Amino acid sequence: MKKVVILISGRGSNMQAILDARLPLTVAAVISNDSSAAGLEFARASGVATRVVDHRAYAERAAFDAALAAEIDEFKPELVVLAGFMRILTDGFVRRYAGRLINIHPSLLPVFPGLHTHRRALEAGVRVHGCTVHFVTPTLDHGPIIVQAAVPVAHDDTEDTLAQRVLAEEHRIYAQAVRWFCEDRLEIRDDGTVRLARAQDAVGALCSPACEA
């Protein structure tokens, strides 16, 4: 059974979804850069070891990343999961965990990398928005895509209402992506795409606003 370490900075709702999914893996630890992160208490209540590496204690990003990596490596995980971990990681850290570091982003990458994705989606007038699970590379929010989920954008959506629908899909697909990794079903191809073994192709299409026959 593979071991996973999850990194959080706040409430860790995606971490909670992964724990609640009771996947065939061991969550060896939940690590945060903030001792007040609400998700730490949930992890402890779930019987998961927790650690804090406070980024404010380090003058340089590389020093923080080195301390974080030392904590992670104590648990010898096969997979490191970023679940709302709000720190930009150095290239050295990312390369250390190449092929076993994944993230979820609240947009249909490659559109809207970075912050404020729901606001930017509304400002752009897109009719379909969503989320993406991807392997992490040194280029921010541009790693090989594992899975995506789309939601329609309603005419009266606000940032909050759109974010809530996207978050529900995040909880669903992140747990699925972690399961696939732990089942050895993911392969990063030479062209930078991800192949899922025994994949089932999606059927149908989402049209928003609803398209008339």
| Burial (Cβ within 10 Å: 0-12, 13-18, ≥19) of residue 60 | exposed
Residue among 105, 118, 129, 171 flagged as catalytic: 105
171 in catalytic set: no
* Residue 186 φ/ψ, nearest 5 degrees: -105, 135
Token digits of residue 1? 């059974």
**Please, are residues 85 and 9 in contact by the beta-carbon 8 Å criterion?**
yes
DSSP structure string for 18-62: HHHTT-SSEEEEEEES-TT-HHHHHHHHTT-EEEE--GGG-SSHH
List helix spans (H) across 106-191.
117-124, 159-182
Residues designated as active site? 105
